[in-house]
Amino acid sequence: MSDTPLVSVIVPAYNGERHIRQCVESVLAQTLADFELICVNDGSTDGTGSLLDDMAARDDRMRVIHQENKGEGAARNAGLDVARGRYLAFFDADDFAEPQLLEKVVRRAEETGADVVAYRVD
């Protein structure tokens, strides 16, 4: 992971054990490799926190923040507080994306000079 990644991907998660693995794996499989993945475990009472820790131990582009449950907005803000990327991308814990997503949206932003690029995730 570089000191200043091109993209910071922020994922707030609360009791997302059912879907978080697919979300994280879809981010880690991106064709654009210059990103950091910041997952914020927002006081989950299921296995979300330990699952995220296990996944982060295997990929240095990923880090996990654990906090008491404060809600989705506060979890996103906790991710923003540590984000270092030039661009930001937000996923929910039950979202996943095609492998070229970050590459395509960064290219679009740079080609057009856009401040915001909107896109769909499943």
Domains (range + CATH), the chain: 7-112 (3.90.550.10)
Summarised one tens digit per residue, pLDDT across range 40-98 is 999 999 999 999 999 999 999 999 999 999 999 999 999 999 999 999 999 999 999 99
Binning pLDDT at 50, 70 and 90, where does residue 3 land? Answer: confident
Burial code of 64-97, b = ≥16 C-beta within 10 A, e = fewer? bbeeeeeeeeebbebbeeebebebebebbbebbb
Average pLDDT, the chain: 95
Q: Is the pLDDT of residue 1 over 70?
A: no
The structure's pTM equals 0.95
